[in-house]
Amino acid sequence: MINPDAKLVQNIFDEKNLQKPTRDGFGTGTVEAGTENPDVFVLCADLSESTRAEWFQKEFPERFIEMGIAEQNMAATAAGFALAGKVPFMASYAAFSPGRNYEQIRTTIALNKQHVVVCGMHAGVSVGPDGATHQMLEDIGLMRMLPGMVVIAPSDAEEARKAVVAAAKVTTPIYIRFGRSPTPLFTTVETPFEIGKALLLWDSENFSEDTSLGNQPHISILTTGSMAYQALAATRALDAEGIKSLVLSVPTIKPLDTKAILSAAKRTGKVITIEEHNVLGGFGSAVAEFLSETYPVQITRLGTQDVFGQSGTPEELLEHYGLSAARIADAVRKIVQ
Amino acid sequence: MAVTDAEILKLEEKAEAIRETIIEMLVAAGSGHTAGPLGMADIFAAFYFHILKHDPKNPDWEDRDRLILSNGHIVPVRYAAMAHAGYFPVEECVTLRKFGSRLQGHPERVRLPGLETTSGPLGEGLSQGNGIAYVWKTQQMQEGNGAASPRRVYVLMGDGEQDEGNVWEAVMWAGKHKLHNLTAVIDRNNIQIDGMTEDVMPLESLRAKYEAFNWHVIEVDGHNIRQCIEAVEEAKAIYEKPTLILAHTIPGKGVPEIEFDYRWHGKPPTAEEGKAFLKDIRTMKGKLPHEYA
């Protein structure tokens, strides 16, 4: 059943529920952060409409900085804004930022310990028709390797808003990844969010870590980003077949909520990770690195399998790369049975 | 306010002291860049002992000018200038590039107060200086022009560094925003690691290029301290444009054996060479007696 403490939307599987892209959360979140803090700036590399930076621009034109198509300059200039005491958010597509300007981010933001919020839009294959050049599948890996960098992939537009507001208040360099396509809005204003904390969405059994209390789920489904909803949809089908699971949404990939992940692994033994990212170096890798050193269990990583994306509809692509609810359910059946 | 001859003489003595320290620290380190730091010693003396509004005992002073060294590989000249200015003991200079030292091979802001930023990978300093200058300029516009002596941003770059695309993104951006409170200096010494700049990747005309991007350009002899100071004063008087000071320098300046030789871009002198070089610097190529020569 759905975790009541997660305060998710009612009738979560109703197809008429609202859908929004997580990038909308960047738009609403920066306006909120900019209202709270006059030092918040948004820098954008000629993509203000599609990144939703224009929502901030409309409210605070004097704090919106148009950088032109120059992501390298944007990263190092953002570091300059931070050096001058401001809180800069920088927005472009993840393929270009951190894709193109990785070294500027490494030197002038990460090594330089500057509180810049790097915002990578259009991450994952669900970008759709634009194809492989614009479907960033390596950004989590790139960014989580940088010492001191916080990495977040929000699960829906509401959580994205909370992540953006929270990002304005930390002091570390931070990366947030957003998607282009609308995905179900399944969390609410009341849903808890804290950087570094995972959120239990579903537990087929009793929500208890005390194994003496009875049955434990067969598998832990660990997700990051908007894969959380796909996993929930898969879980519903699996539950009806008698395959019991728990779903842990892990928006913060770094620092990883090791406590929650360890607890889940101890309860279920088997673990499956799901991300719209290359399985090499991403969220699944982070989970595998942690569990293999502390509590080795069987781990399966769903994601793109060391390949680039391609053109198609988001639905076709998620299906093709094994990330739709149906394909996730197939993968879980294979592991559990 | 015109700078007096006596003041210039003092600055020249500081430049000589900086050059001596550079040689000593490079010999001790056993690696590092020689030609660039020696070539920029006069300009660093001018900055740290005349131009900059700063306080070596309070490196985080909010109202200080910011000096961004974009071509971080010439940082020995900055360390030497900072030490002589009183940021830290001159004796610490010989820890350059050693394990545990605050004087990293390329400058790291978080390790040594006063460095302003972390640099080494080329092409990124101007962007950071732009960010600071933009924030200050807009703040000043909002608060009115009442501030008596507004803070200024100085960005030092290499000429080989101009190969980097990021530089031109930043040059364009500074021109767009008319960052008159920012002055960039290019160390035009004509060498880079693989040879002469005009062979590796022709840069000229740098003046025409910067002017085309809406910059004010001043060319100076980078070893004429008076010219350098006057150029900075001129830059302060220019509104509506950022200023570039194109400083023509001699790589390895002060040591005749290595002057103009690109092979000295990226290597340090041996102990024996260091001794000879120090003699050159201290005696003005043998023209003067010197008690330690």
Sign (positive or negative) of CA dihedral B17, B81, B24, B69: negative
What pLDDT, on the 0 to 100 scale, is given for residue A337? 83
Tally C-beta pairs within 8 A across A and B.
90
What pLDDT, on the 0 to 100 scale, is given for residue B289? 64
Q: Is B117 close to A108, i.e. CB distance below 8 A?
A: yes
State the ipTM, two decimals.
0.93
What pLDDT, on the 0 to 100 scale, is given for residue A209? 63
B266 in reach of chain A (CB within 8 A): no
Domain A196-336 CATH class label: alpha beta
Query: Does residue A204 carry a pLDDT above 90?
Result: no
CA distances from B150 to A297, B53, B140, B180, B234 (A): 62, 10, 8, 11, 15
Q: A71 an active-site residue?
A: yes
What pLDDT, on the 0 to 100 scale, is given for residue B262? 87
Q: Is A108 close to B130, i.e. CB distance below 8 A?
A: no
Identify the closest residue of chain B to A41 by CA–CA distance. Answer: B135
B165 in reach of chain A (CB within 8 A): yes
HSE-up of residue A290 (Cα within 13 Å, Cβ side): 20
Q: CA-based Rg of chain B, rounded to a whole angstrom?
A: 18
Same fold, A19-184 and A196-336: yes
pLDDT, mean of residues A70-75: 98
| Partners of residue A79 in chain B, C-beta under 8 Å | 117, 127-128, 131
Confidence of residue A255 (pLDDT cuts 50, 70, 90): very high
Report the C-alpha gap between A65 and A1 in whole angstroms.
46
CA angle in degrees (0–180, nearest 5) for A150-A153-A156: 140
What pLDDT, on the 0 to 100 scale, is given for residue B48? 98
Mutation target to probe the A interface, by most A beta carbons within 10 A, among B60, B71, B132 is B132
**Closest to B209 measured CA to CA, from B238, B252, B175, B180:** B175
Distance from CA of B116 to the nearest CA of A (A): 8
Mutation target to probe the A interface, by most A beta carbons within 10 A, among B68, B124, B137 is B124
What pLDDT, on the 0 to 100 scale, is given for residue A174? 98
Q: Is B166 close to A72, i.e. CB distance below 8 A?
A: yes
Region for B199 from its dihedrals, namely left if φ exceeds 0, alpha if ψ lies in -120 to 50, beta otherwise: alpha
What pLDDT, on the 0 to 100 scale, is given for residue B1? 61
pLDDT in tens, chain B (293 residues): 689 999 999 999 999 999 999 999 999 999 999 999 999 999 999 999 999 999 999 999 999 999 999 999 999 999 999 999 999 999 999 999 999 999 999 999 999 999 999 999 999 999 999 999 999 999 888 776 555 568 999 999 999 999 999 999 999 999 999 999 999 999 999 999 999 999 999 999 999 999 999 999 999 999 999 999 999 999 999 999 999 999 999 999 999 989 988 888 889 999 999 999 998 888 766 666 665 55
| Entry pTM | 0.95
User: Which of the following is catalytic: A71, A159, A275, A276?
Assistant: A71
Identify the closest residue of chain A to B131 by CA–CA distance. Answer: A80
What pLDDT, on the 0 to 100 scale, is given for residue A76? 98
Is the CB of residue A269 less than 8 Å from the CB of residue A221? no
Percent of chain A at pLDDT > 90 equals: 95
- The helix (run of H) or strand (run of E) holding residue A96 is none
- Mean pLDDT over each residue of chain A, to the nearest integer: 96
B119 in reach of chain A (CB within 8 A): yes
Q: Is A83 close to B117, i.e. CB distance below 8 A?
A: yes
Q: Is A70 close to B119, i.e. CB distance below 8 A?
A: no
Domain ranges of chain A: 19-184, 196-336
- CATH value of B5-282 in 3.50.50.60, 3.40.50.720, 3.40.50.970, 3.30.420.40: 3.40.50.970
Q: Is B134 close to A81, i.e. CB distance below 8 A?
A: yes
Mutation target to probe the B interface, by most B beta carbons within 10 A, among A60, A107, A115, A116 is A107
In tens, the pLDDT along A165-182 reads: 999 999 999 999 999 999
Is the CB of residue B77 less than 8 Å from the CB of residue B41? yes
CATH topology for A19-184 is Rossmann fold (3.40.50)
Identify the closest residue of chain A to B112 by CA–CA distance. Answer: A112
Is the CB of residue B162 less than 8 Å from the CB of residue B206? yes
Query: Does residue A207 carry a pLDDT above 90?
Result: no
Q: Is B132 close to A111, i.e. CB distance below 8 A?
A: no
Identify the closest residue of chain B to A74 by CA–CA distance. Answer: B127
Of B66, B117, B165, the CB nearest to A112: B117
Percent of chain A at pLDDT > 70 equals: 97
